[in-house]
Amino acid sequence: MRDLQRKTAFIAVFLQTVLNFTLTILAMILVVFLLKKTVFIFDVLLIQNEEVGYFYLAEGIIVYFLYFEFISLIIKYFTHNYHFPLRYFIYIGITAIIRLIIIDHEHPHTILLYALAIVLLVFALLIANHSNMKDDDQLD
C-alpha cells in the first residue's frame, strides 16, 4: 500500500513539474507576443502617417490586454500555490467578448447576445467574489 502511495505521489510531483515548466514556456511566449503588440501599437499611433481605423486600433489594444491578462493568470497560478483563481478566467472572458463586439459589430442581435454574455459573466464574477469573501471570513 505504501509503495502505491509513493508511486502516485511521484506521478503527481512529476506532472506538476511538467505543468510548471510548460506554463513558464507559455508565459515567455506570451511576453514575446506582448512586446510585439506593444511595438505594433506604437507603430500605429506614432509612426504611420496614414489614417488608421479606430476599430483596428481598439482591437489591437484589446488583444494587448488579453496577453496581459493571460500573463497575470500564470503569475497568479504560481503565487496562489499552483491554483488558477476563477475570477481571472472571468476577466479574460469579458475582455474576449468585448473584442468580439469590436470585431463583429454588423448584426445587432449578435451584439445583444454578446452583451448578455457579459452581463452573465459579471453576475458570475459577483458570485465568485461573494463566495471568496465568505471563505476569507471563515479563515479569520
One DSSP character per residue, 12-67 reads HHHHHHHHHHHHHHHHHHHHHHHHHHHHHHHIIIII--S---HHHHHHHHHHHHHH
The pLDDT score that the predictor gives to residue 116 is 96
Instruction: Specify whether the backbone of 104 is left (phi greater than 0), alpha (psi in -120 to 50) or beta.
Output: beta
The pLDDT score that the predictor gives to residue 52 is 65
The pLDDT score that the predictor gives to residue 140 is 40
Spans of the chain below 50 pLDDT = 139-140
The pLDDT score that the predictor gives to residue 139 is 44
Other C-beta atoms closer than 10 Å to the C-beta of 84 total 12
With a CB cutoff of 8 Å and minimum separation 6, the contacts of 60 are 37, 40, 41, 44
The amino acid that residue 23 corresponds to is L
Instruction: Give the start-to-end residue ranges of the domains of the chain.
Output: 1-83, 85-132
Using a cut of 0.85, tell me whether the model's pTM lies above it: no
